[in-house]
Amino acid sequence: MLEGDRITRIAVIGAGSWGTALANLLAEKGLEVDLWVREEEVFRQILDERVNGVFLPGVRLSEGLRPVISFEEALRDKQVAVLAIPSHVFREVLVGIKPFVRSNIVMVIATKGIENHTLMVMSEVAREILDERCRETLACLSGPSFAREVAQHYPTAVTVACPHMGHAKELQELFSRDFFRVYAGDDMIGTQLGGALKNVIAIAAGASDGLKFGENARAALITRGLAEMTRLGVAMGSNPHTFAGLAGLGDLVLTCTGDQSRNRSVGFKIATGMDLQEVTRSMRMVAEGVKTAQSAYELSLKMGVAMPITEEVYRILYEGRDPRDAVKQLMLRDLKAEREF
């Protein structure tokens, strides 16, 4: 991937909580890290105060992390670019960075989502826009990782996936810290689907919690949610074992149970009486599962894969179905053998 060169120069595109946490993790290793920032307010805070008070408040950022406001400056002479931007602007941002992407730069996708309308995962979008520039140097990073806990050096494990295991191992070394353990894999599609679909299931788990349905219901949603995530992944050529790992089950459990989960919070608030517009207006940071629910539902229809939990989340968000009615629909489906997906 980098022909034996030591990786020292990195761009991180996106200064939300996750992009900032990853940029800081790398800068603390003594690497040269430029963080592209969209918001002037965030740029000034990082430059003058060494904090991102908007998206990652209370965390002191490394002096080695340099905020920049232009794509050209962020990507100049860089060996690796980490893409940590919301999925709904992923295409727009890639179009913006395309003129400044070196032919041999390694692109690490840290965005979790499925694009509306095209139904592409982010690596497919990147390949379409960047053409041959990045076909051999694309990778993705995913797993159960709340940004704040990473920034606070809490023990965390994730996976980095790349079509070539040798390349994945290079990136494994790049991101690993004594509190941040990175596993390597080669299932790009499965890793990205796990990171995207778990957000939809987390909305269902949040709604269940908001309705006070208890822990049995949450466990059922996580288990059967994993089943439908795996079904879709296998239909798209993924390794089913990917969904039993960090990018699948690991991220699913965290997002369905953690109090920091924005997607779980969306479901909880809807179940307690707020409508979707009220919920999204109340959140500064993006809950990826809201847009992914539409893409995932349409993708399930396209692939002919049954995803009943995803379907009900879609109907709650976009058709106004009452969450209690959605639960009834799920509980009264035709009875099946458990391994009959």
Q: Which among 112, 198, 269, 291 is annotated as catalytic?
A: 198
For residue 28, is pLDDT > 60? yes
Residue 341's pLDDT is what? 55
pLDDT at position 299 over 80:
yes
Strand residues in 19-174 grouped as ranges (E)? 32-36, 65-68, 80-83, 106-109, 138-142, 156-161
Can you tell me the mean pLDDT for 163-181?
Answer: 95
67-96 pLDDT, tens per residue? 999 999 999 999 999 999 999 999 999 999
Do the Cβ atoms of 51 and 57 come closer than 8 Å? Answer: yes
Q: Where residue 133 falls among pLDDT bands split at 50, 70, 90? A: low
pLDDT of residue 1: 55
% of the chain surpassing 70 pLDDT:
98
Q: How confident is the model at residue 143 (pLDDT cuts 50, 70, 90)?
A: very high
Name the strand (E) or helix (H) holding 18: helix 17-27
Average pLDDT over residues 40-55: 97
Please state, rounded to an integer, the average pLDDT across all residues of the chain: 95
Mean pLDDT of 123-141: 88
- Reading the block at residue 211, the tokens are 């309705």
Residue recorded with tokens 């990917």 = 242
Q: Is 198 a catalytic residue?
A: yes
250-254 mean pLDDT: 98
Whether 194 has a pLDDT exceeding 90, the answer reads yes
**Band of the pLDDT at 3, cuts 50, 70, 90?**
low
Residue 294, number of CB atoms within 10 A of its CB: 19
How confident is the model at residue 4, as a pLDDT?
57
For 228, the token pair is 């439908």
